[in-house]
Amino acid sequence: MTSVTMRNHRDCNVCDELGGRVGAFATMQNTRNLSEMTVEQARDFIESFDVVLSDCDGVLWYVDRPINGAIETLKRLQDLGKRVYLVSNNSTTSFDRYNEKVRSGGLELKPEQMISPSTVIAWYLKKINFRDEAYVIASPAFRETLRDAGIRMTPENYPSVPDDDAQAIVKAVLNVRSIKAIIVDFSLECNWAKMALAISCLKNDDVLYLTGAQDDWVVCGNDKKILGPGPLINIITKQSGRTPIECAKPSNVLKEHVLELCNVKEPKRCLFIGDTILMDMKFATMSGFQKLFVETGLDTIEDAIRDDELRPDYYISGLDALRTIIDSLPSNSANQKDS
């Protein structure tokens, strides 16, 4: 009796293991590996979209180090007539610097092709006709974008507080009535005084609260990441008791901006390329875009396929592999319907 029981127990374990493998296989079947497509399937994929929206960090480069062949792939897609846009949560880099980085792969951008939290917030404030003063905790490049859009800001070094004057410190971080918007993104200069002032101002209901990138981590190489702006922004959100108007991936404000800027009529004719589940794949899902997951960044395909809602439609090891697929297609077949 004991031996039969043990055998049944082992059989159950085997069945569970096999069932798990079958389940994983079934799940993977809903996310197609571009590298395993036939020529006809690859051609159909290329013809299924007109607009390409690509993340940057972890997809095109690690900080300033290009990922092999990734930018060249976007150039190849642009040459096929696709409208290419970069959609990044990183506003610490100016447009000129972004353009300099993509030129290394032969790609040339116009300002409207670069979408980041700073450009989205500038668009949003102009859309609601905001004319008051904003207190901005963000990088110099972020502030430059707002300044170019005509947004009036509190001086960058405010508040400047002495270490040895308690009364001056308290006065400096109390509510400033002229401030009618708090805008927070990644900033190397974010400190106690700036956060305390932001929280104090947000106690007033008529003060807008807008946030850019809220990533917990920033990818800077394979298996390398550093702390992102999210944890610091969470402190302001929690202590102020306010819910921010989010303007980075994944947010409805960004979705509205992209649909308007890119003149999207059919979301399914857009391909979003990204390396994160909760940022890129989630944003693409809520926008109704096709989703291509690349394995060069923060998350793995094994993690990406676990969520039925956010699971990507396609995946590939890296964008360079997509260029190889495009170049292997018969002449003109990748853009056959335009011929």
The binding site for Mg(2+) consists of: 55, 57, 275
> What are the angstrom distances between the C-alpha of 228 and each of 6, 87, 118, 281, 312?
51, 17, 16, 19, 24
Q: Among 44, 57, 280, 327, which one carries the catalytic annotation?
A: 57
Binding residues: 55, 57, 88-90, 249, 275
Give dist(CA 16, CA 192) in Å, integer: 52
What share of residues in the chain are helix, strand, coil (percent, to 5)?
45, 15, 35
Distance from C-alpha of 292 to C-alpha of 168, rounded to nearest angstrom:
53
**55 is a catalytic site residue:** yes
> Alpha-carbon distance 241 to 11, whole Å?
54
Q: Evaluate whether 61 touches 67 at the Cβ level (below 8 Å).
A: yes
Active site residue 338: no
In sequence order, what are the residues at sequence separation of 6 or more whose Cβ sits closer than 8 angstroms to the Cβ of residue 229? 184, 185, 186, 187, 190, 212, 213, 214, 215
Exposure string (b/e) for 32-66, b if CB count within 10 Å is 16 or more? bebeebeeeebbebbeebebbbbbbbbbbbbeeee
Query: Which residue among 11, 16, 44, 55 is the active-site one?
Result: 55
For residues 66 and 57, give the distance between their C-alpha atoms in angstroms, rounded to a whole number.
9
Using only C-alpha atoms, the chain has a radius of gyration, in whole angstroms, of 24
Give Cα 238 to chain centroid, integer Å. 23
Closest CA to 268 of 259, 277, 278, 260: 259
Binding site feature residues for substrate: 88-90, 249
Mind telling me the catalytic residues?
55, 57
